[in-house]
Amino acid sequence: MSSAAATQSLADIPTLTQVYRSAGRRQAASSTGDFPPSAAINARVGLVNGDITKLCVDALVNAANTSLSGGGGVDGAMHRAAGPGLLAECRLLRGCPTGEARITRGYRLPAKHVIHTAGPIYDHIDPQRSERLLRSCYEKSLELADACGVKSLAFSSISTGVYGYPSMDAAKVACETVRKYLDRGSSALERVVFVTFEQKGVAAYAEMLP
Ligand code: AR6
């Protein structure tokens, strides 16, 4: 199969509404208690397990590092799929502090743009600081997406690989931050997609569903 044939369009990515429907689950009261269930939000949020580099969305969020010089994990996958133009543009940006976000074009990726955010290396001594920085990664990426007219945005699971952030805790931060952002009502984002890759990520997100 060619890589073009393996791409996944937005229409192929299930929203939470469709996830609930296919699982035969009615939307129940939220088990986390913090947020009331929202049909409008469920229709705007997608969930997919797979390779983020295959998604045809306006922008992908890359779990980068502060030098923006590429690396392993999802960052490496994005640079391989995008080709050398991505690294060349990243070099012009002169890095990205932890908790912030920068945008580039997507080059050979099916996505038009890449938003690069540098997540925190998980600090077991000061987990609150890690949480603050991870929350900032999601917020800054969402704000940058809106500022650039992005309508569909797919997040990789920032910091949960080599940076060691516990998946379940990271999933909670991701879900809460996106929910709060969309609840503000000022965002033009039509779809925010969470992308899981390894099984641990899927389990974490599945448990977050009310
Ligand atoms: N598609 C979607 N998710 C993926 C993919 C993929 N192709 N590949 C990995 N993941 P990591 P971090 C998931 O380590 O922890 C890099 O070297 C993976 O399962 O990529 O933020 C950077 O340059 C995990 O859940 O990022 C930095 O130096 C998630 O992506 C450093 O790693 C994040 O894992 C950043 O570490």
Q: In this structure, what CATH number is given to the domain that contains residue 181? A: 3.40.220.10
State the distance from the centre of ligand 1 to the C-alpha of 63, rounded, in angstroms: 6
Residue 40 CB partners (closer than 8 Å, separation 6+): none
In a domain, 1, yes or no: no
At 68-97, the pLDDT tens digits run 999 999 999 999 999 999 999 999 999 999
* CA 153 distance to own-chain centroid: 7
| Residue owning the nearest CA to atom 3 of ligand 1 | 197
Asked if 139 and 83 count as a contact pair (C-beta separation under 8 A), the reply is no
In a domain, 130, yes or no: yes
* Residue-range definition of the domain harbouring residue 28: 13-208
CA separation, residue 61 to residues 30, 35, 101, 145 (Å): 27, 24, 9, 10
| Residue owning the nearest CA to atom 27 of ligand 1 | 65
In a domain, 2, yes or no: no
pTM, two decimal places: 0.93
Q: Which residues line ligand 1 (CB under 6 A)?
A: 51-53, 63-65, 71-75, 77, 119, 156-163, 195, 197-198, 201
At 99-122, the pLDDT tens digits run 999 999 999 999 999 999 999 999
State the distance from the centre of ligand 1 to the C-alpha of 185, rounded, in angstroms: 30
| Other beta carbons less than 10 A from residue 149's beta carbon | 10
